[in-house]
Amino acid sequence: MLRRSFVAGLGALWLPSLARAEAPLADNPFGLGVASGHPRSDSVVLWTRLLAAEPTQPLTGTYAVDWVIAEDERLTRVVGHGQAAAEARWGHSVHVEVDGLKPGRPYWYRFAVNGKGSAIGRTLTAPGPDERVPLLKFAFASCQQYEQGYYAALRHMAGEELNAVLFLGDYIYEISWGRNHVRRHGTGRPTLLFEFRNRYALYKSDPDLQAAHAAHPWIVTWDDHEVANDYADDLSPNDLDPGQFLKIRAAAYQAYWEHMPLPASMQPKGPSLRLYDRYRFGDLAELFVIDDRQYRSHNACHAELTRDRMLVDCAERLDPSRTMLGAEQETWFADALKRASGRWNLLAQQTLMAEAGRLNKDGKRAFWGDGWDGYPAARQKLLDVVAASPVKDTVVMSGDVHSFWATDLKQDFAMPKSRTVATEFVGGSVTSQGFSNKRLQPLLHDNPHLRYGLGDAYGYGHLALEAKAATVSFRTVDDVRNPKSGIATPARFVVEAGSPGVNRA
Ligand code: FE
Ligand code: CA
């Protein structure tokens, strides 16, 4: 078991322990960095994973990893320390749940094994549940294909002042694709646990990704590429046998848990991992983290989808029984929103929620079947729940589409004058290639509720939340192929409390 321990008041006395098993640790056993996440008002999860000297020679046995957390960056005012077991069965990852912390304040932490220390990470607890909070700041990001660019955006994100980073999926990519690669995966599509572990280790070797983790707590959800492109529940377009695919999914989910700052309570059981969750940030916001991959109905009109991936005449798409969240999560979400009591509701989720139909030459609309447009009845249900919440202001943050968007989420997308229920922002992709501005124009033209779109750009979104307004800035790097790239803010939007919808600032 991963031990939860908390000892206060012992000062800075901190002795590294001896490993309990011989194994070839890397010279820097913390070469994958440190991370924190799952921030509550009194607790946080600290993460690291021990690195083997050779990726082909995984560590064996159990290591005792020391950890310490303090109120200052020099780790002198220690508020907790202990030892956690890094076990082979969990890839020698370490997930320490520290509780007894004070709300809304930064802490610094570090790990050590065999006399070698990790980098020092900084984290931040959530404000107290009833605290009056004037301002919250989040970065939201998705889609960091390793081969298609460097993580300059993440370096800039590390330098921001944030309550948390919201990562909305495609943390790794299982496949190589795209053009003009700046670096290589070097291995093929992972399907086994050790292959997924090595893919995460490759991504996490990036210093800018490590910096963003070491600077802020992360709240994470996933999309498809953590497992397999465009998968839905127990099927992927490339793995049509559910029995076979669920084995891949189990390996992928385990590697995901091992590499994210998630608590032991979220450890996967076989091919299942409950990732959806809620967070409270004082009186200002409740944040709902959604999983729209694990439980969704299979893609509608599968044969058509695999041909050109857009759905035109597909009656199955409209089937009211099709689900995106699954029955259990849907009930959880409806219940949570009915009882929501923050000033704002925030939704962190993976795929574009606004309808984005492309008008074909024959006057018919074509829809991308893998996002919410493949599940319009489920989307309607979700937006009805949002509209009925006692909290009238909801901001949705989304990923997946590798472009920046600001959208009005309509009660009825076919009726431009219908009520705007919530406001959605997609914070581009960190590196993954997507829509050109040229391809994006017809979508903007054919869908008036898509209020802004930006392609050919990479970066992330920044949300500054106050009682009276939510301000969203799109941050884009000058050159995704340059690890030292600068960053700019090409667009900024305001959502006024009490009046959902996009306003250009
Ligand atoms: Fe992606
Ligand atoms: Ca995706």
Question: What pLDDT is attached to residue 307?
Answer: 62
Residue 5 lies in a domain: no
Question: In whole angstroms, how far apart are CA 250 and each of 233, 254, 269, 353, 398?
Answer: 12, 6, 8, 27, 25
For the chain, how many residues are written?
505
Minimum-distance ligand to the CA of 144?
1
Tell me, in angstroms, the distance from the centre of ligand 1 to residue 432's CA: 6
Provide the β-strand partners of residue 462. 139, 473
- Phi/psi for 309 (5° steps) reads 65, 5
State the Cα–Cα distance between residues 345 and 328, nearest whole angstrom.
20
Tell me, in angstroms, the distance from the centre of ligand 2 to residue 400's CA: 4
For the record, the structure tokens of 296 come out as 């969704």
State the Cα–Cα distance between residues 228 and 235, nearest whole angstrom.
9
Question: What pLDDT is attached to residue 240?
Answer: 79
Burial class of 363 by CB neighbour count within 10 A (0 to 12, 13 to 18, 19+): exposed
Residue 23 lies in a domain: no
**What is the band of 24 on the pLDDT scale with cuts at 50, 70, 90?**
confident
Q: Indicate the residue among 101, 124, 147 that finishes a domain.
A: 124
State the Cα–Cα distance between residues 396 and 390, nearest whole angstrom.
16
For the record, the structure tokens of 495 come out as 């959502």
Residue 238 lies in a domain: yes
Report pLDDT digits (tens) over 354-363.
999 999 989 9
Residue 320 lies in a domain: yes
Same domain, 162 and 243: yes
Question: What pLDDT is attached to residue 21?
Answer: 45
Same domain, 162 and 101: no
Higher-scoring residue by pLDDT: 56, 387? 387
Report pLDDT digits (tens) over 433-457.
998 999 999 999 999 999 999 999 9
**What residues contact residue 332 under an 8 Å CB cut-off, 6+ apart?**
276
Same domain, 86 and 158: no
Same domain, 429 and 329: yes
Tell me, in angstroms, the distance from the centre of ligand 1 to residue 68's CA: 35
Same domain, 297 and 388: yes
Residue 14 lies in a domain: no
Tell me, in angstroms, the distance from the centre of ligand 1 to residue 386's CA: 26
Question: What pLDDT is attached to residue 11?
Answer: 36
Residue 355 lies in a domain: yes
Minimum-distance ligand to the CA of 429?
1
Tell me, in angstroms, the distance from the centre of ligand 2 to residue 370's CA: 9
Tell me, in angstroms, the distance from the centre of ligand 2 to residue 27's CA: 35
Same domain, 190 and 319: yes
Lowest mean pLDDT of 92-106, 306-320, 371-385, name the range. 306-320
Q: Which of 170, 233, 239, 158 is nearest to 199 (CA)?
A: 170
Tell me, in angstroms, the distance from the centre of ligand 1 to residue 433's CA: 8
Q: At what angle do helices 193-204 and 207-215 cross, to 10 degrees?
A: 80
Residue 130 lies in a domain: no
DSSP of 128-172: PTT---S-EEEEEE----GGG---HHHHHHHTS--SEEEE-S-SS
Question: What pLDDT is attached to residue 237?
Answer: 87
Same domain, 228 and 269: yes
Query: How many domains is the chain partitioned into structurally?
Result: 2
Q: CATH number, domain at 113? A: 2.60.40.380
State the Cα–Cα distance between residues 139 and 490, nearest whole angstrom.
16
Report pLDDT digits (tens) over 145-157.
999 999 999 999 9
**What is the band of 191 on the pLDDT scale with cuts at 50, 70, 90?**
very high
Tell me, in angstroms, the distance from the centre of ligand 2 to residue 426's CA: 13
User: Nearest 5 degrees, angle CA 468-CA 348-CA 385?
Assistant: 75
**What domain range is 79 assigned to?**
34-124
Tell me, in angstroms, the distance from the centre of ligand 1 to residue 399's CA: 7
What are the DSSP E strand ranges found in 222-262? none
Identify residue 126 by its one-letter amino acid code.
Answer: A
Same domain, 439 and 339: yes
Tell me, in angstroms, the distance from the centre of ligand 2 to residue 82's CA: 38
Q: CATH number, domain at 244? A: 3.60.21.70
Tell me, in angstroms, the distance from the centre of ligand 2 to residue 152's CA: 21
Minimum-distance ligand to the CA of 223?
2
Q: Indicate the residue among 84, 101, 124 that finishes a domain.
A: 124
Tell me, in angstroms, the distance from the centre of ligand 2 to residue 157's CA: 21
Task: Report which DSSP code applies to 180.
Answer: S
State the Cα–Cα distance between residues 435 and 111, nearest whole angstrom.
41
Residue 333 lies in a domain: yes
Provide the β-strand partners of residue 122. 108
In the three-class reduction of DSSP (H, G, I as helix; E, B as strand; rest coil), residue 385 is classed as helix
Provide the β-strand partners of residue 464. 137, 471
Q: What is the pTM of this model?
A: 0.95
Same domain, 148 and 108: no
Query: If DSSP states are collapsed to H, E and C, what string results for 432-447?
Result: CCCCCHHHHHHHHHHC
Same domain, 40 and 184: no
Q: Indicate the residue among 124, 154, 169 that finishes a domain.
A: 124
Q: Which of 375, 366, 300, 264 is nearest to 330 (CA)?
A: 375
Higher-scoring residue by pLDDT: 21, 276? 276
pLDDT surpassing 60 at residue 7:
no
Lowest mean pLDDT of 103-112, 235-244, 338-347, 392-401, name the range. 235-244
Tell me, in angstroms, the distance from the centre of ligand 2 to residue 392's CA: 29
State the Cα–Cα distance between residues 10 and 374, nearest whole angstrom.
56
Identify residue 393 by its one-letter amino acid code.
Answer: D
Same domain, 102 and 142: no
Mean of the pLDDT values across residues 173-197?
Answer: 97
Question: What pLDDT is attached to residue 9?
Answer: 35
Question: What pLDDT is attached to residue 6?
Answer: 36
Q: Which of 408, 394, 502 is nearest to 447 (CA)?
A: 408
State the Cα–Cα distance between residues 462 and 440, nearest whole angstrom.
22
Same domain, 483 and 336: yes
Contact (Cβ atoms closer than 8 angstroms) between residue 157 and residue 142: no
Task: Report which DSSP code applies to 62.
Answer: -
